[in-house]
Amino acid sequence: MITILCSGSRGDVQPYIALAQELKKLGLSSRVATSRSFEGFVRGYGIDFFSIDVDHESAGVDPQMIKEAQKADNILKMARSFRKLREYGIHMVENYHDACMGSDAIVFHPGLTIGYFMAEKLGIPAILASPFPMHRTGSRPSVVLYGKVIPNAFINRLSYRILQGMLWMASESSLKPFWESRYGRLPEPFGMPFERHTDARHPALVSCSNHVFERPGDWNPHIHQEGYWVVEEPTTYQPSPELAAFLEKGEKPVYVGFGSMFDRADTEKTGRTVIQALTLAGTRGILSGMSGLTDLPDSILTLENVPHTWLFPRMAAVCHHGGAGTSAAGFRAGVPSIILPFALDQFAWAQRSFELGIGSRPLPFKKLKAKSLADAIRFATQPGISAKARALGAQLAAENGARDCAQVIARAMEASVDGRN
């Protein structure tokens, strides 16, 4: 049994389901260990599930603290947010520990380093699976500073120390007391494990395409970046009659949605700003996650929970918060991107989209105005931008990162067996 440890929002969990799907095709059993709220979501893809029965509500974590962490838009705010969330981690770590028991290999998100230390304790492969590039390189800054600093080899490498340090801080403060309580002493060596993935039993996987961020030449050969991890939907999505009719009766609309970053309390204010921007730009729009808006013009439709893989290719452009998964879905759809980053790595995907010529200049969400968004929509929907987006989408569609990374996991298990013989 391969146990896959992940956490976060629906979009954060979905790429790990794609890995599990590909492992299943190889005849390898796996299970996804994540928040209990995603059990139906994971099992809906035919994947086994291990419930992490702790969330911020049951752990008594202030919801405002979660919101602050989501909206941390600079290094100092990020560090403070990670420190505040330590208590949350302490409640979760025991559940993730139990998920590891009985495993033959452990695949883990970089925020869940208990996966590495449990794999070492159990003598099984430890596979780091990251939703973004995170290993040190001198070729470009890390995703938390990309586009915010003037790059050079020293700054670039320092930025990865910062990124890895924050991820380790989020894990270490909860992992250390748990491990000492459970096992009496810390494992040796105890420290950041991210750069220890240097052999076939300890590979690292990255959900990213070389067409978006080229694989650095100074990474070790056991870091694998083969393309995005994209789920295969179990059934063909059938749109509601309302959505089907809206798509048929006019020009392609612009999608606008901000996922889990969006505070529903801001629906009226943000929704009206977006509608005004779409009107100024002369485009139709689909607003996701903003149900409840009334008196909508015929050019606007609100909806909830439509698969991005189905919806995005039918759009003129996609406007979103810039999460790694949503950005990847937009890139693969072959349509222009308009990214309004809130925090963390979202600024990097916004900047990279602009550099690749497939989207507008980054527009931070906190600076959202109707005119600035309308200008971004007009820019992104130019024929030249759309053509570049289609070309990139075709390149990404030719990749199968989940399949190739699943094969790396299979080889890690073979190497582990060979090492014991």
- Which tens digit of pLDDT belongs to each residue from 186-231? 999 999 999 999 999 999 999 999 999 999 999 999 999 999 999 9
For the record, the structure tokens of 47 come out as: 């994947």
pLDDT tens-digit map of 364-387: 999 999 999 999 999 999 999 999
Coarse DSSP helix, strand, coil percentages of the chain, rounded to the nearest 5 percent: 50, 15, 40
* Inter-residue contact 127 to 342 (CB < 8 Å): no
d(CA 206, CA 208): 6
Beta bridge partners of 107: 4, 127
pLDDT digits (tens, 9 = 90+) for 249-272: 989 999 999 987 878 788 889 999
Domain span(s) for CATH 3.40.50.2000 in the chain: 2-228+399-420, 241-397
pTM of the prediction? 0.89
CA distance 225 to 3: 21
H-type alpha helices, 293-365? 308-311, 324-333, 346-355
Grouping H, G, I as helix, E, B as strand and the rest as coil, residue 379 is helix
User: Which whole-number Å values give the CA distances from 158 to 77, 134, 142, 302, 350, in the listed order?
Assistant: 18, 12, 9, 43, 22
Q: What are phi and psi of 369, to 5 degrees?
A: -135, 155
CA distance 161 to 192: 10
Distance CA 83, CA 78 (A): 9
- Give the CATH number of domain 2-228+399-420; options: 1.10.3720.10, 2.40.180.10, 3.40.228.10, 3.40.50.2000: 3.40.50.2000
221-231 per-position pLDDT tens digit: 999 999 999 99
Between CA 346 and CA 393 the distance in angstroms is 20
What is the reported pLDDT for 85? Answer: 55
241-397 to CATH, choices 3.40.50.2000, 3.30.750.200, 3.40.50.720, 3.40.630.10: 3.40.50.2000
Residues 6 or more apart whose Cβ sits within 8 Å of residue 321? 258, 259, 261, 262, 339, 340, 341, 342, 346, 365
- Residue 79 confidence (pLDDT) above 80: no
Mean pLDDT of the chain: 91
The b/e string for 365-382 (b: 16+ C-beta within 10 A; e otherwise) is beebebebbbbbbebbbe
Q: Is the pLDDT of residue 322 over 70?
A: yes
